[in-house]
Amino acid sequence: MKRLILFFLITSYSFTYGQDDCDCKKNFEEISQKVKDNYAAYSMKITPATKVKFDELNKKINAKVKGVTDPRTCYYILKEWTEFFKDGHLFINTQTSFTETEPKEAVEARAAKVGTQKFTSEPKFESYLKSNQATLAAVEGVWESDDKAYRMGIIKTADKKYTGFLLNKRDNLWTAGKDKFMLEEIGENSFKTTYYYADFTTEETFSKQIKNVLKMDNIYKFYKISPIPTESASQDDLIHKLPDYRVEKIDEDNTLLVLPPFTIPNAPTYVRELVNQNADIIRSSKHLIIDFRNNPGGDETCYDAVFPFIANGPIVRKGSTVRSSVENLILLNHELKAIQDFPQYSAYLDPKLRDMIRKMQRNPGQLVQVSDKTFDFKPNPSNPQKVVILMNKNTASSSESLILESKQSSKVITMGTNTKGLADYTEVRDWGLPCFGWRLALPLGYSHRLPANPIEFVGIKPDVTIPDSEADWVSFAVKYLKSTK
């Protein structure tokens, strides 16, 4: 998932040509100038060892962009150039998403391998359910997705295995009876899940049945329609178990905190209210499990409200090294002015921006160090005594930086897989490009870890690896914590 840029960056310094004058060459000239003059890591990327290849690439791209006015063609030409830098935070934001078109035959081939149940209508399946009501498992029946896009049947197909299938035709490939997901029971009301997307590619995930609701992580919630459920989700379920982002008391010793993406509107306020309103639940548990999976990053201050629950001494947020260029100074001054109308942002961004601007003005053309920020916590032996952070290959950007900050606490254990590896290049801003309404995302800074300890496209290695065979990561963490008492 592409990293999102904070709202106020629409004030980025830029100019535009009239659209009638637009061609790919103008965008390339602008991009290459912006990167050369303002990209913090330029001198780290363009070295005597890489310059020959870079010069060859420039010559190649210059030839390719001549006369190109088609946005799609232009995008892929420029993408070849930006990818030279191997920086996930340096990319082109387009108004239209460009993706490689997959041959129709490839989708049809995958579809042919997906099974079909014999029930081609809801009335036929309802008749089956009525005839077998006495022996049905709790998960069998008719279900509807929370957005009402899918009307599904779920039927037992083998010991501890169930299949969810369509009850209505959607297109020529997604016909009534076509399998949509597979459930394998791994615990009470818990299932390892294989879900088929529209193009018949799959995702492995975890599902849990909570009374009349089947919650499929990161995909859907399904509500049971038939047979009529004997029990519906309670108010406590609706608050603490079913929301995507929640504080859930798992058992006497363990509480789960599932965090939202830090790109959502007013994310710092949302997270602060979530943890503060549930502070008693968090403090009542010996262990806190924080779910950082699939978090693409965003506003790093979202996590500040969590620090008091996990810290066991001071936590330091290291400042980046930023490039003092004329255009970067103009951009940051615009940003400083823009945030004054937004108190929720200016409260913490104003001091940081002023520090950056002051140091850049004093050191034109140089690399300058942004000041560290220290969260001055005291050693705290009280609950939570241990904190697990769950992370995966889609945990990215500032989320990775926050995990590293969390690991300054002796209470913290990371579990899962390596993260995505997009936290080396920082202070991402975007610049308007001359044509097609595109913008260039560009890091003004880089991490204090560089060049000695990069994580780009490698990620952070967990303290405890969760095996691929494990579907329920939260239960894995609970068992691990119990075994290490």
> What per-residue confidence (pLDDT) applies to 21?
76
Give kind and range of the element (H or E) at residue 139: none
Provide CB contacts within 8 A for 308, sequence distance 6+: 377
> What per-residue confidence (pLDDT) applies to 234?
96
Report yes or no: 194 and 181 within 8 Å, Cβ to Cβ.
Answer: yes
- pLDDT tens digits for range 390-408: 999 999 999 999 999 999 9
Q: What is the mean pLDDT of residues 236-259?
A: 97
Torsion of CA 291, 296, 298, 299, to 10 degrees: 10
Give kind and range of the element (H or E) at residue 208: strand 202-210
Residue 350: CB atoms within 10 Å: 14
Q: What is the mean pLDDT of residues 467-484?
A: 96
Q: Is the pLDDT of residue 18 over 60?
A: no
Q: How far apart are CA 26 and CA 77, in angstroms?
A: 13
Residue 149: pLDDT band by 50, 70, 90 thresholds? very high
Report yes or no: 260 and 358 within 8 Å, Cβ to Cβ.
Answer: no
Using the CB atoms, write b or e for 391-405: b if 16+ within 10 Å: bbebbbbbbbbbbbb
Phi, psi at residue 360, to the nearest 5°? -70, -40
- pLDDT tens digits for range 284-335: 999 999 999 999 999 999 999 999 999 999 999 999 999 999 999 999 999 9
Q: Is the pLDDT of residue 121 over 90?
A: yes
Q: Is the pLDDT of residue 242 over 90?
A: yes
The residue among 383, 346, 353 whose CA lies nearest residue 371 is 353
- pLDDT tens digits for range 30-45: 999 999 999 999 999 9
Torsion of CA 149, 153, 156, 160, to 10 degrees: 20
Q: How far apart are CA 62 and CA 130, in angstroms?
A: 69
Proportion of the chain above pLDDT 70, given as a percent: 96
> What per-residue confidence (pLDDT) applies to 313?
97
Rounded to 10°, the helix 326-338/343-362 angle is 160
Q: How far apart are CA 404 and CA 400, in angstroms?
A: 6
> What per-residue confidence (pLDDT) applies to 6?
44
DSSP 5: -
> What per-residue confidence (pLDDT) applies to 345?
81
Domains detected in the chain: 7-93 (3.30.750), 107-240 (no CATH)
Q: Is the pLDDT of residue 5 over 70?
A: no
Q: Is the pLDDT of residue 466 over 70?
A: yes
Q: Is the pLDDT of residue 180 over 50?
A: yes
> What per-residue confidence (pLDDT) applies to 342?
87
